[in-house]
Structure 1
Amino acid sequence: MSVQALRAGALATAVTAPSSALAEWGVNLPEGVTSISNTIYDIHMWVFWICVVIGVGVFLAILWSVLAYRHSKGAKPAHFHENTTVEIIWTVIPFLILIMMAIPATGTLVDMYDTSDAEMEIKVTGYQWRWQYEYMDEDISFFSSADTPRDAERNLIEKTEDYKYSVDNPLVLPVDTKIRFLITSNDVIHSWWVPEFGWKQDAIPGFINKNWTKIEEPGTYYGLCAELCGQGHSDMPIEVKAVPKDEYREWVAEQTGDDG
């Protein structure tokens, strides 16, 4: 099936399945693979539908006003003064709606940066134009660079699904493990971003920013540098392989040469 057909199908089903169809088409947020990203997605959809209800109500009120109060030229306008009850209602209700949206959003924002009780640490350093990953609890450190074939960039060969996303050394992480990220940069400002994790963290020279994740589902997840960082900005993909804990321990043993 062609890309055009897929996009047409997504648009056709947008009304009946907005969450899934639009996410696949690249309009909606992707459903994540961490508790934080899933919470963000749920809050996003909840706020979205609140806005839809408010928007529909406002437009219906406008339409009703236009139809109910239309008069021919020369009609005598009505004279009335303020209505204190109505003014209180339209002040209190929006205030309560904002409070209902702010409470879960604020709680999630606080949880996003609570890196305490982490089970392992990864230091991420941005370079022009690659990433360095250091496993702080293991003697493992390597660079991760884009490995997109130049022939694919020149349209000499067919592009694969991971075009511009695959790397030579992906970051391997265990599932069901709270991982603290220490993110910095060696040169200019970069930004480490994997959409399915639900957060984006700037990598700033001379500073270490912290964030965390706990991946719930094994799989391969892609991201990008989300801060314009120079000529090779588009050549800073991120590839994360989330694997079961047993498989992760085997990978660590291979990397450290400790097969025993």
Structure 2
Amino acid sequence: MNDPHVVAVIYRLKHDAFVKYDKAEPLEHDTPEFTVRVSEGEAHFEMKKHFGNVEAAREMVAPFIRAWEVTAALDEGPGHFELIFKNGDIEDRKPTPGIVNVVRVETILMAESVSIVLGKGHYPEPPSGIVVNADVEAMLSRYTKFRQDRETLAGMAYFCLTVLVESAGGRAPAAGKFNVAGKVLSTLGRLTGEKGGADARKVKGLRHEFTPAERDWLDLALRKLIRRAAEVAYDPAQSRPQITMADLQKLN
């Protein structure tokens, strides 16, 4: 090729066996760098700027894709939505006369067995106003392991609390940095320190299992806090509504 140009990079949707998107309405989202269209299990990122190779185009869309996956994991649950690179379409902007060059760069995909039980009428909404930094990745990793029964609730929740507190230099500064009511953070600390049953972090929690309401409270609180951390990573100066106990399920 004389002047290769990436027209689009294409990703396939990956999800757990219990999720199905065959009835989902097509989705289109526009950004200054690309337009993404999702339908029939594929996401097409059509480039608005010039990229001479697929690797550069993929690098540009990667933060958006990861933010999308994180948003979907927090809204729908881990395993509902991932994007796996499938191929890239390249054209020659200055072809040799009489020769047409259109190249498709592909990756090998492994077949997956799927047993569908949950139909989805829509694709997850594209991300807005978040950045996935190292802290967000670490917290989401632990949360995902918890949802997959590979991590205890108490251990996961305390880890996330510690990440938030240490990133701000203390619990009170964390409440200010992430605009979270102090009561939310103190309740999170109390539950992870005093409860958990056989999976308790501390000995005093061995005889005190989490109630169903406490489990639900911790799950929702952690999803809100991880999202808030991603929002603050995007714009630390932006004003956001405070996360309060009223935003979470009642404990009694």
Smaller-chain TM-score range?
under 0.3
Larger radius of gyration, structure 1 or 2?
A: 1
TM-score for both structures, normalised by structure 2: 0.22
TM-score for both structures, normalised by structure 1: 0.22
